[in-house]
Structure 1
Amino acid sequence: SLALCFWWGATVKPGSVFQVGSHSKAWLCVSGGDLTLFQVGTHSKAWFIAGVFVFMTIPISLWGILQHLVHYTQPELQKPIIRILWMVPIYSVDSWIALRYPRIAIYVDTCRECYEAYVIYNFLIFLLNYLSNQYPSLVLMLEVQEQQKHLPPLCCCPPWAMGEVLLFRCKLGVLQYTVVRPVTTVIALVCQLCGVYDEGNFSNRNAWTYLVIVNNISQLFAMYCLVLLYKALKDELSQIRPVGKFLCVKMVVFVSFWQAVLIAILVKVGVISDKHTWDWDSVEAVATGLQDFIICVEMFLAAIAHHYSFTYKPYILEAEEGSCFDSFMAMWDVSDIRADISEQVQHVGE
């Protein structure tokens, strides 16, 4: 009989059965020269399926980013768009890694959560840059418009004065989330190291519950400010079709957040219990893995939506100047963000 040599150097005789890795619970049966794979764990199946979606997602997103770099004709508009488009590959790769290695999920998810706030901020910058280019006297134009009242549930609050006050407070309302989210993420990391985070478990004894409440309030207010700004300038923004773009950003951020809350509720009520943890160590790990798996699938749909909503075609000009390399380097320039933060801090101080 012939022996079969595997890549790790082991020699196996025909007819033997052995296990390949305790984590995946995959067994190989070698009989008469045939190799049969069976009993693959649910965790491994989920990771493989998620990987298929990730490898379909990334080319779509990178193609859109590359085309914006090639036709980089309006930097003040395309730079925020490129930053938004990076959201999908970052979410996909991050979730796929976290799904494969649950023990480090809390650490790799930090990048995803911080970039989420960065995307919301850049969407606001995209809208304001467009308005500034089209309407140099935007503040004066707002001042003569009809007073914009607050939307539910803040309809009882006094309205913000039209003009500079409205623009500043809407911008500040979005900017606060870009500060709150990274801070709560760092707190989550510290709590995880101290053993009091307990992600996915609603309880008054862990830090995750309180951080979810803080993040939710901050996120809702940031989105509220975006909706309020859109309602006040709906006619002026109609040419760039902001609704589809807003839904792309909102759905990715909101769906990923609220589905995590929903999964945590299912764990709390016992729908997801210790009886079926499959290959995960605990029911909390199952909840986190399910969230990461769903995000990998959703990002494929988000990549298609971004391809049409943030298309590069409006920026194609007959006479284009500059190289793709210069556009790529300009993409990493964050001087505009530093200047904007300095301006907002100065206004808050005043």
Structure 2
Amino acid sequence: MDPQENATQPPVNPICRTRDAPYSYEILQSLDTTGILLFAMLTLMTLVTLLVFLEEAYYMYRKIPSHKYYLIIWINAGAMMISTTSCFGMWIPRSTMFTDFTASVFLAMLVHKFQLMLVNECGGRKEFLSKFGDTKLKISTGPFCCCCLCLPHTDINRRTLFILKLGTFQFAFLRPVLMFLAVVLWTNGNFVIGNSSLNNATMWINFAIAIMTITALWAVGVLFNLVKNTLNDQNIVPKFAVYQFTVILSQLQTAVINVLGTMGIIGCVPPLPGSSRASYMNQQLLIMEMFLVTVVCRVLYRRRYDEGENLIENLETNDNLQNSMVYVNPKALEDGPYST
């Protein structure tokens, strides 16, 4: 290169040469008026998401039987926790690994609890097996078996149901373990977000997490295709759509944005290097997306149980009237209508 041309090029900011995320005070000092308003709006959305979830959890606790409400609370908690951890990661960029670890725990539990809810809404394991015992289970479904149409249909029994539950339980158990290992290796410099080198632990941990995620999604998809017609009156299709929306946004969107940051498509803007800016943008998107997911979940899960609650109250009122007539009528018949 010509020395004269090299001299005319602006010097590269040293921040863009590093992968280290900035401190919180560096982010706050770099914010202009638009940035301050954006931070305030996203923080407010996170607070509203948390309040909506707490109100919904309180309603579920008071109005729904215990064998149902704890599953629904866990499912609704997924979007709230992703939004909350993303807000912390936005304010404190160096905490991204810890916030990702916390969000991954709740996401893994969300997948497992959603599958348990499908069985529970059918009346539990015994009722599920008696209802679908004569049905053949189609296992050629997504994400990785949708092209294998030659796979045979299998019988539905306790062993089959156990294997499907194991498909999501391994995700709920092993994903937090691998994420904890990633945090430990990150503190030692062996885990770098966006590093795809074969000699680095990042690629192998991400590959293992991807396989476990696909297996868990397959187990939920197989069960959903079986029960969706039976649970159609319980808004199970939109509930499943929202569940998939949450998983895809928190996994696929995050992976794509991190790859764009690693490849330099999302460039460095001081004080944020490219990889940190990619995580920063993803966290802001997740806050807005999980806010919408929380609102939609409240509508879907609340509407059904409002109707059920009214039905139960009407049945209890009729029972009380009938009991009153049983106790009053014999005395009226014995004394006669004109007795004094």
TM-score calculated relative to the size of structure 2 = 0.75
- 8 Å CA contact retained: 1:50, 1:297: yes
How far does residue 141 in structure 1 lie from its aligned partner after superposition? 3.7
Instruction: Letter of the 2:157 partner, please give it.
Output: G
* Residues 320 and 206 of structure 1: CA distance in aligned 2, closer, same or farther (over 3 Å): farther
Instruction: Letter of the 2:96 partner, please give it.
Output: A
Secondary structure of residue in 2 paired with 1:272: coil
Find out whether 1:124 has 2:115 as its counterpart: yes
* Residues 174 and 153 of structure 1: CA distance in aligned 2, closer, same or farther (over 3 Å): farther
Higher helix share: 2
How far does residue 94 in structure 1 lie from its aligned partner after superposition? 1.1
Find out whether 1:233 has 2:227 as its counterpart: yes
Which of 107, 114, 123 is matched with 2:98 structurally?
107
Task: Output the CA distance in 1 between the equivalents of 2:197 and 2:277.
Answer: 18
* Residues 149 and 256 of structure 1: CA distance in aligned 2, closer, same or farther (over 3 Å): closer
Find out whether 1:143 has 2:147 as its counterpart: no
Task: Output the CA distance in 1 between the equivalents of 2:313 and 2:235.
Answer: 23
- CA shift digits 1:295-332 (9 cap, x unpaired): 111111111111112214144242899xxxxxxxxxxx
Instruction: Letter of the 1:76 partner, please give it.
Output: H
Find out whether 1:55 has 2:79 as its counterpart: no
Instruction: Letter of the 1:207 partner, please give it.
Output: A
- 8 Å CA contact retained: 2:249, 2:286: no
Paired residue for 1:330? none
Paired residue for 2:291? 300
Paired residue for 1:214? 208
* Residues 315 and 110 of structure 1: CA distance in aligned 2, closer, same or farther (over 3 Å): farther
Summarize the alignment of residues 1-350 of structure 1 with structure 2, pairs less than 5 Å apart. Answer: 22-25=26-29, 40=32, 46-72=38-64, 74-133=65-124, 136-146=126-136, 148-151=138-141, 152-273=146-267, 276-280=268-272, 282-311=273-302, 312-316=305-309, 317-318=312-313
- CA shift digits 1:112-144 (9 cap, x unpaired): 1111111111111111112235x8443244332
Secondary structure of residue in 2 paired with 1:198: coil
- CA shift digits 1:43-85 (9 cap, x unpaired): 756533321321232222222222112213x221221001111
- 8 Å CA contact retained: 2:75, 2:110: yes
Task: Output the CA distance in 1 between the equivalents of 2:182 and 2:235.
Answer: 37
How far does residue 278 in structure 1 lie from its aligned partner after superposition? 3.3
- CA shift digits 1:228-285 (9 cap, x unpaired): 1122233322232211111222211121111111112212332112xx32332x2221
Instruction: Letter of the 1:69 partner, please give it.
Output: Y
Secondary structure of residue in 1 paired with 2:209: helix
* Residues 22 and 161 of structure 1: CA distance in aligned 2, closer, same or farther (over 3 Å): closer
Secondary structure of residue in 2 paired with 1:181: helix
* Residues 292 and 147 of structure 1: CA distance in aligned 2, closer, same or farther (over 3 Å): closer
* Residues 270 and 181 of structure 1: CA distance in aligned 2, closer, same or farther (over 3 Å): same
Task: Output the CA distance in 2 between the equivalents of 1:132 and 1:115.
Answer: 25
Task: Output the CA distance in 1 between the equivalents of 2:260 and 2:33.
Answer: 22
Paired residue for 2:9? none
Task: Output the CA distance in 2 between the equivalents of 1:214 and 1:169.
Answer: 19
Task: Output the CA distance in 1 between the equivalents of 2:155 and 2:284.
Answer: 45
Instruction: Letter of the 2:55 partner, please give it.
Output: W
How far does residue 165 in structure 1 lie from its aligned partner after superposition? 3.0
- Unpaired runs of 5+ residues, structure 1, are 1-20, 27-38, 322-350
Secondary structure of residue in 1 paired with 2:82: helix
Instruction: Letter of the 2:44 partner, please give it.
Output: V
* Residues 93 and 148 of structure 1: CA distance in aligned 2, closer, same or farther (over 3 Å): closer
* Residues 81 and 146 of structure 1: CA distance in aligned 2, closer, same or farther (over 3 Å): same
Task: Output the CA distance in 2 between the equivalents of 1:230 and 1:22.
Answer: 47
- 8 Å CA contact retained: 1:181, 1:215: yes
- Unpaired runs of 5+ residues, structure 2, are 1-24, 317-340
Higher strand share: 1
Instruction: Letter of the 1:318 partner, please give it.
Output: E
Task: Output the CA distance in 2 between the equivalents of 1:193 and 1:245.
Answer: 38
Task: Output the CA distance in 1 between the equivalents of 2:288 and 2:183.
Answer: 26
Query: Cα RMSD between the aligned structures?
Result: 2.6
